Protein backbone atom coordinates (compact mmCIF):
# COMPACT_ATOMS: atom_id res chain seq x y z
CA UNK A 1 0.00 0.00 0.00
CA UNK A 2 2.84 2.40 0.71
CA UNK A 3 4.05 2.38 -2.90
CA UNK A 4 0.54 3.24 -4.01
CA UNK A 5 0.43 6.18 -1.62
CA UNK A 6 3.89 7.48 -2.54
CA UNK A 7 3.11 7.30 -6.25
CA UNK A 8 -0.21 9.05 -5.79
CA UNK A 9 1.06 11.70 -3.39
CA UNK A 10 3.74 12.70 -5.88
CA UNK A 11 1.10 13.83 -8.34
CA UNK A 12 0.67 17.60 -8.34
CA UNK A 13 -2.66 19.31 -8.73
CA UNK A 14 -4.81 16.66 -7.10
CA UNK A 15 -8.34 17.75 -6.25
CA UNK A 16 -8.77 18.72 -2.58
CA UNK A 17 -11.08 15.76 -1.95
CA UNK A 18 -8.42 13.32 -3.19
CA UNK A 19 -5.74 15.04 -1.09
CA UNK A 20 -8.02 14.68 1.95
CA UNK A 21 -8.50 11.00 1.19
CA UNK A 22 -4.72 10.55 0.94
CA UNK A 23 -4.26 12.23 4.31
CA UNK A 24 -6.97 10.00 5.79
CA UNK A 25 -5.24 6.98 4.26
CA UNK A 26 -1.96 7.92 5.96
CA UNK A 27 -3.76 8.46 9.27
CA UNK A 28 -5.37 5.05 9.04
CA UNK A 29 -1.99 3.46 8.31
CA UNK A 30 -0.52 5.15 11.39
CA UNK A 31 -3.48 4.01 13.46
CA UNK A 32 -3.06 0.44 12.24
CA UNK A 33 0.66 0.52 13.06
CA UNK A 34 -0.08 1.75 16.60
CA UNK A 35 -2.70 -0.98 17.05
CA UNK A 36 -0.25 -3.65 15.89
CA UNK A 37 2.48 -2.41 18.27
CA UNK A 38 0.07 -2.39 21.23
CA UNK A 39 -1.28 -5.81 20.23
CA UNK A 40 2.23 -7.25 20.15
CA UNK A 41 3.00 -5.74 23.58
CA UNK A 42 -0.17 -7.26 25.05
CA UNK A 43 0.56 -10.65 23.50
CA UNK A 44 4.01 -10.64 25.11
CA UNK A 45 2.50 -9.63 28.46
CA UNK A 46 -0.05 -12.43 28.18
CA UNK A 47 2.68 -15.00 27.53
CA UNK A 48 4.56 -13.81 30.63
CA UNK A 49 1.45 -13.94 32.84
CA UNK A 50 0.47 -17.40 31.61
CA UNK A 51 4.02 -18.63 32.16
CA UNK A 52 4.03 -17.28 35.72
CA UNK A 53 0.68 -18.94 36.43
CA UNK A 54 1.96 -22.26 35.07
CA UNK A 55 5.03 -22.09 37.31
CA UNK A 56 2.90 -21.26 40.35
CA UNK A 57 0.73 -24.33 39.69
CA UNK A 58 3.85 -26.50 40.01
CA UNK A 59 4.66 -25.42 43.57
CA UNK A 60 2.88 -26.19 46.83
CA UNK A 61 0.43 -23.72 48.36
CA UNK A 62 2.69 -22.98 51.33
CA UNK A 63 5.70 -21.93 49.26
CA UNK A 64 7.10 -18.45 49.90
CA UNK A 65 6.27 -16.20 46.93
CA UNK A 66 7.53 -12.72 46.16
CA UNK A 67 6.24 -10.13 43.75
CA UNK A 68 8.02 -7.12 42.35
CA UNK A 69 6.71 -3.76 43.49
CA UNK A 70 8.90 -1.28 41.69
CA UNK A 71 12.52 -2.09 42.57
CA UNK A 72 11.50 -4.05 45.71
CA UNK A 73 10.41 -7.67 46.14
CA UNK A 74 7.53 -8.10 48.57
CA UNK A 75 6.49 -11.39 50.13
CA UNK A 76 2.92 -12.46 49.34
CA UNK A 77 0.82 -15.60 49.40
CA UNK A 78 0.59 -17.92 46.44
CA UNK A 79 -3.20 -17.59 46.46
CA UNK A 80 -3.08 -13.80 46.33
CA UNK A 81 -0.54 -13.67 43.49
CA UNK A 82 -2.51 -16.30 41.52
CA UNK A 83 -5.65 -14.17 41.90
CA UNK A 84 -3.79 -11.04 40.77
CA UNK A 85 -2.22 -12.79 37.79
CA UNK A 86 -5.52 -14.40 36.77
CA UNK A 87 -7.23 -11.01 36.86
CA UNK A 88 -4.38 -9.50 34.83
CA UNK A 89 -4.62 -12.35 32.31
CA UNK A 90 -8.37 -11.87 31.90
CA UNK A 91 -7.98 -8.12 31.47
CA UNK A 92 -5.19 -8.56 28.92
CA UNK A 93 -7.23 -11.08 26.94
CA UNK A 94 -10.18 -8.67 26.88
CA UNK A 95 -7.97 -5.81 25.71
CA UNK A 96 -6.50 -8.06 23.00
CA UNK A 97 -9.96 -8.92 21.70
CA UNK A 98 -10.83 -5.23 21.51
CA UNK A 99 -7.60 -4.46 19.67
CA UNK A 100 -8.27 -7.27 17.20
CA UNK A 101 -11.67 -5.75 16.43
CA UNK A 102 -10.09 -2.32 16.00
CA UNK A 103 -7.44 -3.83 13.74
CA UNK A 104 -10.08 -5.50 11.58
CA UNK A 105 -12.14 -2.30 11.27
CA UNK A 106 -9.06 -0.23 10.43
CA UNK A 107 -7.95 -2.72 7.78
CA UNK A 108 -11.42 -2.67 6.23
CA UNK A 109 -11.41 1.14 6.19
CA UNK A 110 -7.96 1.15 4.58
CA UNK A 111 -9.03 -1.29 1.87
CA UNK A 112 -12.19 0.70 1.14
CA UNK A 113 -10.33 4.00 0.99
CA UNK A 114 -7.63 2.47 -1.20
CA UNK A 115 -10.29 1.38 -3.71
CA UNK A 116 -11.83 4.86 -3.69
CA UNK A 117 -8.44 6.46 -4.21
CA UNK A 118 -7.58 4.15 -7.09
CA UNK A 119 -10.85 5.01 -8.80
CA UNK A 120 -10.38 8.73 -8.21
CA UNK A 121 -6.77 8.70 -9.41
CA UNK A 122 -7.56 6.67 -12.49
CA UNK A 123 -10.14 9.27 -13.47
CA UNK A 124 -13.12 6.99 -12.99
CA UNK A 125 -14.23 8.28 -9.63
CA UNK A 126 -15.57 11.57 -8.24
Residue closest to 96 by CA, chosen among 52, 48, 55, 39: 39
Cross-strand bridge partners of residue 73: 68
Contacts with 16 (C-beta within 8 Å, 6 or more apart), sequence order: none
Confidence grade of residue 32 (pLDDT, cut at 50, 70, 90): very high
Residues 21 and 118: beta-carbon distance below 8 Å: no
The whole-angstrom separation of Cα 106 and Cα 113 is: 10
Q: State yes or no: pLDDT of 88 exceeds 70.
A: yes
Residues 112 and 106: beta-carbon distance below 8 Å: no
Query: Considering the entire predicted model, what is its pTM?
Result: 0.78
CATH topology assigned to domain 2-121: Helix Hairpins (1.10.287)
Write down the pLDDT at residue 4. Answer: 52
Q: State yes or no: pLDDT of 10 exceeds 90.
A: no
Write down the pLDDT at residue 89. Answer: 98
Residues 31 and 120: beta-carbon distance below 8 Å: no
CA 89 to chain centre: 16
Amino acid sequence: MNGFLEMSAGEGGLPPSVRQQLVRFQQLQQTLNAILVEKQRLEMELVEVKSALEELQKVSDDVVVYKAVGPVLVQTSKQKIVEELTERKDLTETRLKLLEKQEQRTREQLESLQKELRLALSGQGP
